Amino acid sequence: MSTDTHADDGPGDAADDRRETRGLLERVRASPFLSDLLSNRLAVAGLLVILTVVVVAVYARVTMDLTELTRSRLGTDVPDRAPPGWVGPAAWNQYLFGTDAAARDIYKRCLYGAWLAMKFGTITVGVSTVVGVSLGIVAAYYGDVTDNVVMRTMDVLLAFPPLLLALALVAIFPRELGLWRAVAALTLVYTPRFARVVRGAALKVLEDEYVNATVALGASDPRILARHVLPNTLAPVTVQSTLNFGLAIIDLAALSFLGFGAQAGTPSWGLMLSRGVDNGLLTGRWWLSFFPGLVLAVTVLGFNLLGDGMRDALDPRMREAVD
């Protein structure tokens, strides 16, 4: 009897799993947010761009050696500042984007730059999101002195132009940290944005009756914040994070361009732009700065398009107002 029961349980469990999978897929397809997002062609285009950059970043990280991409190749048989293979004498499969002033392959360096941009951009946005969301929720929930201290501190940080504040903060950290000091500075710059957005959303949530009922039932403060306030403030946080991801990538590139980010030789898009302007743009060697600038612009555009699409999908009233 036990054997028959075990045999019957297998197909039944498999059928249950299939039903659960179909149910999950049906719920995903029926989601108004996903429906509105996928119907926005610009948002879908932005999502495809981001996915492409992620695939390229992972491919570069797995297949390429950072030391080789950083090391100068002057004095070898590789020509420096050689034009792209499709406009000059170099072979197509060797120098698709040409070489830089140190005879390094710009194409491979651009690909690895995608990994650096996604890695440090993710860390910057992730840490600033966690810190900003925590501060915003705590300020909204406890109010009074806590709210004033937290939000006035955020106002002080917001009073400075973001890039100038980042430059001032970067100067505090040792140069040896490279891009990590830019990440630390931008994390402090972005945190107030999340804190203000989350505080406003949390104040609306705290006015709902179910929150008051939860408090009356004796729920602890951490439980109220984690189970009831935080989940209902994730919509604006998601949009802000997506838009800030593009800003983080371009700000990291800007700090590297100004000499306050990546160390010399690092295949960072901003540093490649800076070296391209210094070593070739004014002498007609346009490829030194054109290709790093192109991949940077396309990546940031992808995040902006996706962020705008997510904002419209989460707030249809805003989309109708724009239309």
- Kindly list the domain boundaries of the chain, sorted by start residue: 43-134+158-203+233-322
Alpha helices in the chain (DSSP H): 2-29, 32-38, 41-63, 66-70, 106-142, 144-158, 162-170, 179-206, 209-216, 221-224, 234-257, 269-279, 287-314, 316-322
- For residues 213 and 274, give the distance between their C-alpha atoms in angstroms, rounded to a whole number: 58
pLDDT at 319: 45
Place of tokens 């996706």: 306
Please give the single-letter amino acid code of residue 144.
D
- For residues 163 and 189, give the distance between their C-alpha atoms in angstroms, rounded to a whole number: 8
User: Which tens digits make up the pLDDT trace of 306-315?
Assistant: 988 888 887 6
User: Which tens digits make up the pLDDT trace of 236-263?
Assistant: 888 889 989 999 999 999 999 988 888 8
- For residues 47 and 9, give the distance between their C-alpha atoms in angstroms, rounded to a whole number: 42
Residues 6 or more apart whose Cβ sits within 8 Å of residue 46: 301, 302, 303, 304, 305, 306, 307, 308, 309
Q: In terms of C-beta density within 10 A (0-12 exposed, 13-18 middle, 19 or more buried), how is residue 167 classed?
A: middle
pLDDT at 251: 93
pLDDT at 10: 53
pLDDT at 13: 55
Q: Contact at 8 Å (CB) between 95 and 79?
A: no
pLDDT at 104: 92
- CA 221 to centroid of chain Cα atoms: 31
Which residues of the chain fall short of a pLDDT of 50? 1-8, 317-323
pTM to 2 decimal places = 0.82
